Structure 1
C-alpha cells in the first residue's frame, strides 16, 4: 500500500486527469506520513480489494469506501488513466484519488479545483489562502517560514500562460 520506501510526497503522481489540486494537496498531506495513514481505515493490501478512508465534507467526518479496480489506459503496461502509482509502487495515491472521485461525484468532477478544499477534505483541517501579489518577497517568505514552523500543510499554484504571463 505505502510502497517500498514508505509514504512520501513524491508518491503523488498525476495521471491523465486535470486534478493537480488533489495531487498537490495529497503531496502536502504526505509530508507527514501519519496524516496519510490516519486517512486509511484499512492500511494493508487485502484479498477483498476494499479500502475505507476517513474524509471530510464541510468539516464533517465521513467514511468513503472504494475498491481497488482502477481505470487503465493499457493493462499490459500498468498505465493508470488517472493517479499513477509512484516509482516505488505505492498504491495509496490512486486509492485516495478514487475516494476523492467518489466524494465529489466521479473522476470528471476532479478536473479543476483548489488545494485548500482538497486538504480539508483529506484531513478536516481548515485552510487559509493568500495571494502574493500584494506583499513583498520578504513578507511572503516570513509567512511561509511561520507556516512551516507551525507544521502547516503548504501548497502553491500559478496561473496558466506562456512566457512572462506565467
Structure 2
C-alpha cells in the first residue's frame, strides 16, 4: 500500500509492468538451480532439417534444451554459447533449441540460417515451454541421459555454467 501512496496507482502499475517485462525475457541468469530429477514432458516436434524429434530420441546422453524466440535479445546472445557447447561436446551431448515463435518455421528457419545455429532447432510453442516450467526466455533445461530434469536456468548461461551442469547430469 505504501508504494501506491508514494508513486500513485499509475506508477505502481508501471512498476509492475516493468517487472513483468524483465522476468519475461531474462537478461541476467538467476543461476543454475537443481530442480530434482522430475521427468521432462514428452514431446514430438518438427525439426528445421526435416522429420520429427522426440524427447525419447535424445535418450542415452545428457541434453540441453533451450526455449527461445527470435524476438528475444538475450536468446540471440545465447546462440554462440550453445554453438560452442555443441562443437566441444558433439556426440556426447544433445543440444536442442525449441523456438516458441507463433509464426513457426517460416520465421525461425531464415533466422537460424542468418545466425549460424549449428545445433538442432525444433518448432515448439509456449504451451510446451510452460509444461517444462519455463519462466521466461531463454530458459534452458539440463536433462540426464534418462530424460530427467537435473537443472534449469533462466536467462543467458555461460559455457562454463552449462558444462558444469552437464557434468552433474552425467555427461
* TM norm. shorter chain > 0.5: no
User: By percentage of residues, which structure has more strand?
Assistant: 2
TM-score, normalised on structure 1? 0.30
Larger RCO (alpha carbons 8 Å, 6+ apart): 2
